[in-house]
Amino acid sequence: ILNVEQSPQSLHVQEGDSTNFTCSFPSSNFYALHWYRWETAKSPEALFVMTLNGDEKKKGRISATLNTKEGYSYLYIKGSQPEDSATYLCAFYAGNNRKLIWGLGTSLAVNP
Amino acid sequence: EAGVTQFPSHSVIEKGQTVTLRCDPISGHDNLYWYRRVMGKEIKFLLHFVKESKQDESGMPNNRFLAERTGGTYSTLKVQPAELEDSGVYFCASSQGYRDPETQYFGPGTRLLVL
């Protein structure tokens, strides 16, 4: 059974703080790791699709790294802003069944 | 360019009734996916269309769920008869289908509550 774990489950930070969260996934049959940002009642927004071990991707103040050998990815937010408040979801894409397996997400609240 | 749209945004029905959810993918996207998120649980894959064909429907919970994608454009997901455990947010996503892996673009979801 494929399992994707995200930690922490929730996080409260102050505006300006930098923060990071973890996505753990199976290290076998790896094909890709997707990160999404989701505000309730809106569409989940694609952040990154990561495929190569050692990959590092950046979008504004948000960046992500990937370690496929040990099965984890980190998402970093530099200088958090209230508008960063959302649930951050990762999804593992396996090479043998081509479907997204999702974590529960990390709920981030940034206090002004 | 319009994103993925879903209708309705919310639906409240009684157990035993029928509900049909609609998804309009981004124009030109061959791949269309349905997902469901039950409260407190992770998003789960339901099925995947490539154009009008069902590529993978391994995530469909049971035969009360029927998905169609006529003409390879919009898709419908019908639940008949609805049960309490069908409550959740139903997401639709689409992708171009030019390469693998690729970004899946999500709609805002339909929030279904079965009473």
pLDDT digits (tens, 9 = 90+) for B79-96: 999 999 999 999 999 999
Res A98: pLDDT:
74
Closest Cα in chain A to B89? A41
A92 interface with B at CB cutoff 8 Å: no
For A15-51, the pLDDT digits (tens) are: 999 999 999 999 888 999 999 999 988 999 999 999 9
Res A29: pLDDT:
86
Secondary structure letter of residue A12 according to DSSP: E
Q: Largest Cα–Cα distance of chain B, in whole Å?
A: 42
Res B2: pLDDT:
83
B1 interface with A at CB cutoff 8 Å: no
pLDDT higher than 90, residue B1? no
B88 interface with A at CB cutoff 8 Å: no
Task: Compare CB distances from A49 to B41, B103, B109 and report the shortest one's residue.
Answer: B103
Q: Is B65 helix (H, G, I), strand (E, B) or coil?
A: strand
Dihedral sign of CA atoms B20, B26, B28, B31 in order: negative
If one compares A3 and A75, the residue with the highest pLDDT of the two is A75
Q: Which residues of B touch A32 (CB under 8 A)?
A: 101
CA–CA distances in Å: residue A54 to residues A51, A67, B101, B109: 9, 6, 17, 33
Res A1: pLDDT:
63
Cβ–Cβ below 8 Å for A103 and B42: yes
Q: State the average pLDDT over residues B38-45.
A: 95
pLDDT higher than 80, residue B47? yes
Res A71: pLDDT:
95
Question: Within 13 Å, how many C-alpha atoms sit on residue A23's CB side?
Answer: 31
Dihedral sign of CA atoms B85, B91, B92, B96 in order: negative
Q: Per the omega criterion (within 30 degrees of 0), is the bond before B25 cis?
A: no
Res B70: pLDDT:
86
Res A16: pLDDT:
97
Res B101: pLDDT:
86
Q: Is A22 helix (H, G, I), strand (E, B) or coil?
A: strand
For A52-79, the pLDDT digits (tens) are: 999 999 999 999 999 999 999 999 999 9
A26 interface with B at CB cutoff 8 Å: no
The set of residues, in sequence order, having a beta carbon less than 8 Å from that of B82 and lying 6+ positions away, is B13, B14, B15, B16, B17, B18, B19, B64, B112, B114
CA distance A55 to A73: 10
